[in-house]
Amino acid sequence: MISEQGHAPFRMSDRLFAEVAGGGGSAEALGLLQRAERARRLLLLRTLLDSLGPLPTPLATSAEAWDVLKRAAELAPEPVDRLLLAPATGGWIAHLLRRLHDTATGPPLWAEAGHLCSLAVSASLLAGTPADLRVPLTDGGLCLPGLGLARLPCTAPGLRIGRARTDGEELTLVGSGRNGEEVSVTVRPATEPLPRGTARAATAPSTTVAARQPQPTIPAETIHPPLASERPLTGPANTPDAWLPLRTLTHLAPSGPLAIPLEDLDPYRDLDDPLPPARLDRAEAEEWQRLFEEAVEMLDTPGGTGPGRLVPSMIRAVSPFGRTAVLPPAPPTVLVSASSGDSFGGMVIARPSSALALAETLVHEFQHSKLAALLHLFPLLDDDREERYYAPWRPDPRHLTGLLHGAYAFTGVAGFWRDRMTVAEKDAAGPGDAVASKGDGVPQEPAATTGSGCSADEAGYHFALRRTQARLVVRTLLAEGRLTPQGRALVSGLARTLDGWLREPVPSAALARARTAAALHRTEWRLRNVAPDPGSTYPPDTPRYRPDRTAWPDLRTHAFATRPTAPRTADDHLAAGNPAAALVRYAEELAADPAEPHALAGWIVARALLDPGRAARRMLARPELLQPLPSG
């Protein structure tokens, strides 16, 4: 059984550590991180099973459920392994361990512990082994991790107890109806791959994918669900209301077809507390597939395994956040994304309308997964968890662990935009032509968007902004003296990557906007977070924070990505490279409210651009000193 195999100590060579420390990682390095995460997952599962043993339950006991899992794993070890290593399974284990230590809340403990029975039923279906278990039903539904959701007809809402029996690929679910009568349904649980290419109309359940899946054609270390062959499922075993299949985002990789779960059903898909299902409309699911295909095409960049590169098979699941329909239209950027160290390769993402934004977010969140896996292997820093540090991508102060995660993630993001800039420049130059440049030798932006998904100017802006911001945070981490030897080696690796990138040319207009946007964010951050105390002797890096600080929207980072052609607002003029016109408009805004942080930050930066020198440097170092003291 997989949980009973012995594991040798994990040893990471200096070469592999250096690859990951630089922000990237070869297949060999990432494979080692995945194996380490597997060992950790199984150890946590063993700890959980030991704790569940004495827990009273009206369901099948944990020992009964585990026996079903063991039998299934003996016949189909790889599918069951993938099931236990799925992001949602990691979220469930972590949440339930917190419940057992009274640091989390949720439904009755026996019901959450009963998710093990659901995993066992899924495993038996994947392997074709028999099972007969008492399972928890929520509103008449049984979530089958990795497969979908089975639903009884005419049941009362709330938490109930049912019975799940499997026979080969068939599941019979029995429970109580609204009036206490016995109701049952028989289904063939199966996943549903979303069609590649152009969207098509919704299909009936007869086109779902068989639960028993063939062995993958690529190494098992990649731990991704292979795409099963389709086959028709007809008759009463699959009625439209009885079975909701887990949909998968499909991609044809060089090593074979992949299927990445588009997880909208599993209660632990949110990487934290359990949630009810939030089924996507068919059109919304197909829009996810379209964007995913386009995003993966962008990420298919040859030439190494450095920061910003992502092999799609490393993504274990994508959980949509916040919307289930195509209307209202999605914003161009990703407004919410998250990942968890307990759910390696899992990502919660609010769908954007842009494949470029989705591709950037996939890179960003997988960087977090890599660093979390490394933190499970090595202590990297001694963090007192005090939130007092500036993070250029946040509205609030952060602790050191947050800084480390941000620096690592945004180094990957900078690499992503570096690749986009390179592709855009090549596309603009044409085959066999050199990239056009002006007298300063810096490549200039093409007039239109190219195969990279954006112009070289826009990509150059993001590359320049993120490399500068990440390097600033790396400097803070190195200066604080709280890194372990391994942590210092990691952050020094990031510094080497970023220092090399800072010497690379970027279109001049994009570079100017990136520098302005970086200064604007830091200035507004200090105005909104740092107390204006003229008599204080604190250095700029250790400020005293305002008691009235609140979250604020970063309106400039994306607005400055492109140069306005017809500037109207003060920000437009500043982004267009006209600080004099911007200064006049900021002054007009400040006449109405002299302490308004957004306008004041713009005025300070515009003034510094017009009159650089010692006074400008003092304003930028402590912009809060220009604010009135808070009343009282």
pLDDT tens digits, 293-340: 999 999 877 667 789 999 999 999 999 999 999 999 999 999 999 999
- Cis before residue 216, ω within 30 degrees of 0? no
For residues 83 and 210, give the distance between their C-alpha atoms in angstroms, rounded to a whole number: 16
Least confident window among 211-220, 372-381, 459-468: 211-220
Q: How confident is the model at residue 9 (pLDDT cuts 50, 70, 90)?
A: confident
**How far is CA 371 from its chain centroid?**
13
Across the range 372-389, mean pLDDT stands at 95
pLDDT number for residue 445: 44
Average pLDDT, the chain: 88
192-201 pLDDT per residue, tens: 999 998 443 3
533-581 pLDDT per residue, tens: 766 666 666 788 999 899 999 999 999 999 999 999 999 999 999 999 9
Q: How confident is the model at residue 268 (pLDDT cuts 50, 70, 90)?
A: very high
Amino acid at 451: G
For residues 512 and 570, give the distance between their C-alpha atoms in angstroms, rounded to a whole number: 16
Query: What phi and psi values does residue 348 have, to the nearest 5 degrees?
Result: -100, 125
Helix (H) or strand (E) holding 70: helix 62-75
Across the range 184-195, mean pLDDT stands at 97
Asked whether the predicted pLDDT for residue 155 surpasses 80, the reply is: yes
Instruction: Give me the helices (H) in 267-399, please.
Output: 282-299, 355-377
Asked whether the predicted pLDDT for residue 143 surpasses 80, the reply is: yes
CB 108 within 8 A of CB 102: no
pLDDT number for residue 453: 87
Look at residues 223, 165, 169, 227 and name the one whose alpha carbon lies nearest to residue 196. Answer: 227
Q: How confident is the model at residue 226 (pLDDT cuts 50, 70, 90)?
A: very low
For residues 576 and 33, give the distance between their C-alpha atoms in angstroms, rounded to a whole number: 45
A 10 A CB-CB count for 420 gives 28
pLDDT number for residue 537: 61
pLDDT number for residue 197: 80
Residue with tokens 């809060």: 624
Residue with tokens 């959450």: 112
Look at residues 112, 116, 111 and name the one whose alpha carbon lies nearest to residue 3. Answer: 116
Asked whether the predicted pLDDT for residue 129 surpasses 60, the reply is: yes
The single-letter DSSP state of residue 611 is: S
Helix (H) or strand (E) holding 248: strand 247-253
67-101 burial: b if 16+ Cβ within 10 Å, else e:
ebbbbbbeebebbbbbbbbbbbbbbbbbbbbbbbe
Query: What phi and psi values does residue 607 have, to the nearest 5 degrees?
Result: -65, -40
Asked whether the predicted pLDDT for residue 234 surpasses 50, the reply is: no
For residues 511 and 505, give the distance between their C-alpha atoms in angstroms, rounded to a whole number: 9
Q: Tokens at residue 409, please? A: 């993630």
Count Cα neighbours of 288 within 13 Å in the Cβ-side half-sphere: 30
What distance separates the 2 farthest-apart alpha carbons in the chain? 83
For residues 146 and 88, give the distance between their C-alpha atoms in angstroms, rounded to a whole number: 9
Q: Is 192 exposed, middle or buried (0-12, 13-18, 19+ CB in 10 A)?
A: buried
What lies within 8 Å, CB to CB, of 488 at 6+ separation is 478
A 10 A CB-CB count for 134 gives 18
User: pLDDT > 70: what percent of the chain?
Assistant: 86
3-state secondary structure string, 105-116? CCCCHHHHHCHH
Least confident window among 25-29, 42-46, 238-242: 238-242
Task: Report the sign of the C-alpha dihedral through residues 519, 521, 524, 526, in that order.
Answer: negative
pLDDT number for residue 451: 67
70-84 pLDDT per residue, tens: 999 999 999 999 999
Asked whether the predicted pLDDT for residue 235 surpasses 70, the reply is: no
* Residues forming beta bridges with residue 261, ordered by sequence position: 248
- Expressed in percent and rounded to 5, the helix, strand and coil fractions of the chain are 45, 10, 45
Least confident window among 266-270, 289-293, 436-440: 436-440
Asked whether the predicted pLDDT for residue 433 surpasses 90, the reply is: no
A 10 A CB-CB count for 438 gives 10
Q: How confident is the model at residue 113 (pLDDT cuts 50, 70, 90)?
A: very high
Across the range 405-419, mean pLDDT stands at 98
Q: How confident is the model at residue 505 (pLDDT cuts 50, 70, 90)?
A: very high
* Residues forming beta bridges with residue 381, ordered by sequence position: 483
Q: Tokens at residue 12, please? A: 């990471």
Task: Report the sign of the C-alpha dihedral through residues 143, 148, 152, 154, in that order.
Answer: positive
For residues 147 and 124, give the distance between their C-alpha atoms in angstroms, rounded to a whole number: 12
Query: What phi and psi values does residue 13 have, to the nearest 5 degrees?
Result: -65, 160
For residues 407 and 348, give the distance between their C-alpha atoms in angstroms, rounded to a whole number: 20
